[in-house]
Amino acid sequence: MTDPTWQAGVFAALKRAGIAQVGYVPDAGHAHLISAAHADPSIRTTVLTTEEEGIALAAGAWLGGQRAVLLMQSSGVGNCINMLSLPVNCRMPFLTLVTMRGEWGEFNPWQVPMGTATPLVLGATGVHVRRAERAEDAAETVGAAAALAFASCVPVAVLFSQRLIGTKVF
Amino acid sequence: MSGRNDLTLDRRAVVAALLDDPGDLLVVTGLGAATYDAGAAGDRALNFYLWGAMGGTAMIGLGLALAQPARRVLVLTGDGDMLMGMGALATIAAAQAPNLAIAVLDNAAFGETGAQASHTGLGTDLAAVAAACGWAATTTANSMDEVAALRPRLRREALFAVIGISPAEVPRHLPPRDGAYLADRFRRALGVAEA
């Protein structure tokens, strides 16, 4: 497990941003956020079978007047490509926090292709990409990303670098 | 073709019946013919039509239902869209949104692309899939009497319904397709648009 201190700051930033729905496909790097979201009675937390469900969930939340966030790892970004046409085309805000694999001391070669492609794919589909490399910047980066997404109605992804979340030990 | 003999209903008549006197029902429609059918039944601000994002219709319905627990949400889509987003049946069953119902217009074909047989014509029973995913209430309708009985249930229960419709093509009816317009119109009608 990673040090949850910065992740507590990220959760607080999501609360300040008015996030009312969290959708996720689990990742160890998001474990603290997922637990915190489930424990918060003011947040509705939905486990997904695949990441693109979370984009549609967030679109529905926005239609209903709520703000949502999607938590996933970089491998899931590839599952999202066509569904990203939904927030882009409908000029809806979309916020996702992505834990990166395949970029820092990665043990599992199957994580490398999508980890390498993640920022390129997001950029190519019209998503604004921000990156958090250091624990002390993570909460501020998420807060700024949420402000951009919800005030300017654009899709924004924050990539949590693998160095930040800690390399998975097998 | 599918060889199924339960695909006889006129899709426009089915959707007109389901959406009769919609009141403040929140409606999300899947791309292609379900969107056209809902538009033909009467364009309204509280219809959110998809023209893409295939596989996402049911999950949009879930996000909306969770955000608006005091309102009823109806997802109206085709078998192709539901098949692509079949995992959503598990996600929605687990989420247990009592104010969300799904009606699938099943012609056992990908009607927009040349009427190739879909999996519902090749053995997949979507109502059984939903039940296996944990939906407590699932049903099928293959006559207009059954459709009429379905209408109030779709506005009262967390119901997953599959309606057998004819694969025959009907005239195109094209509702608005600008996604930003549709989203803004919907949010304003719902009273959640920010200034």
B40 phi/psi in degrees, rounded to 5: -65, -30
What whole-number distance in Å separates Cα of residue B66 and Cα of residue B100? 9
CATH class for the region spanning A5-165: alpha beta
Residues from chain A that touch B52, judged by Cβ atoms under 8 A, are 82, 85-86, 89
Q: How far apart are CA A162 and CA A143, in angstroms?
A: 20
Helix A52-63 × helix B87-95 angle, to 10°: 50
Q: Would you place residue B108 in the very low, low, confident or very high pLDDT band (cuts 50, 70, 90)?
A: very high
Percent of chain B with pLDDT over 70: 98
Average predicted confidence (pLDDT) for chain B:
96
Strands of B70-158, DSSP E: 73-78, 100-106, 109-110, 116-117, 137-141
C-beta atoms of A49 and B87 within 8 A: yes
The Cα of B7 is separated from the nearest Cα of chain A by a number of Å equal to: 29
Q: Say whether pLDDT at B48 is over 60.
A: yes
Cα gap A30→A96, rounded to integer Å = 12
Question: How far off is chain B from A51, nearest CA to CA, in Å?
Answer: 10
| pTM of this structure | 0.97
Are residues A57 and B62, on separate chains, in Cβ contact within 8 Å? yes
Domains, chain B, in order of start with CATH, read 11-190 (3.40.50.970)
Q: A26 CB near a chain B CB, below 8 Å?
A: no
Quick count: other Cβ atoms within 10 Å of Cβ B144?
14
Residues of B in contact with A63 (CB under 8 A): 48, 60, 63-64, 67, 183, 186-187, 190
CB-based contact, B80 to chain A, within 8 Å: no
CB atoms B91 and A68 under 8 Å: no
Give residue A168's pLDDT. 67
From the list B63, B66, B95, the residue facing A56 with the nearest CB is: B63
Minimal CA–CA distance to A77: which of A61, A105, A99, A108? A99
Residue at token pair 């990673």: A2
Query: How many Å apart are CA A153 and CA B29, to the nearest integer?
Result: 23
Residue ranges of E strands in B64-183: 73-78, 100-106, 109-110, 116-117, 137-141, 159-164
B53: chain A residues, CB-CB within 8 Å: 56, 59, 82-83, 85-86
- Single out the residue of B118, B164, B176, B130 nearest to residue B14, CA to CA: B164
Q: Where are the domains of chain A?
A: 5-165
Q: Are strands B26-29 and A155-160 parallel, antiparallel or unpaired?
A: unpaired
Q: What pLDDT score does B194 carry? A: 76
pLDDT the model gives residue B125: 97
- Give 3-state DSSP helix, strand, coil % of chain A, rounded to 5: 50, 20, 30
Specify the pLDDT at position B65: 98
CB contact set of A61 (below 8 Å; sequence gap of 6+) = A20, A21, A67, A68, B63, B64, B66, B67
Alpha-carbon gap: A10 to the closest alpha carbon of chain B (Å): 22
Please classify residue B127 by burial: count the beta carbons closer than 10 Å to its beta carbon, then call 0-12 exposed, 13-18 middle and 19+ buried.
middle
- Taking each continuous run of H as one helix and of E as one strand, the counts in chain B are 8, 8
Chain A hits for B56, Cβ within 8 Å: 52-53, 55-56, 59, 83, 86
Interface confidence (ipTM) of the complex = 0.97
Q: How high is the pLDDT of residue B8?
A: 94
**B74-101 pLDDT, tens digit each:** 999 999 999 999 999 999 999 999 999 9
Residues A100-145 pLDDT 10s: 999 999 999 999 999 999 999 999 999 999 999 999 999 999 999 9
Q: Which chain A residues are within 8 Å of B45, Cβ to Cβ?
A: none
- Measured between beta carbons, which residues in chain A are less than 8 angstroms from residue B85? 53, 56
Digitized pLDDT (tens) for each residue of chain A, 170 residues in all = 455 689 999 999 999 999 999 999 999 999 999 999 999 999 999 999 999 999 999 999 999 999 999 999 999 999 999 999 999 999 999 999 999 999 999 999 999 999 999 999 999 999 999 999 999 999 999 999 999 999 999 999 999 999 999 866 66
Query: Which of B26, B67, B179 comes nearest A61 by C-beta?
Result: B67
CB distance from A77 to chain B under 8 Å?
no
* pLDDT tens digits, B129-186: 999 999 999 999 999 999 999 999 999 999 999 999 999 989 989 999 999 999 999 9
What's the pLDDT at A1? 46
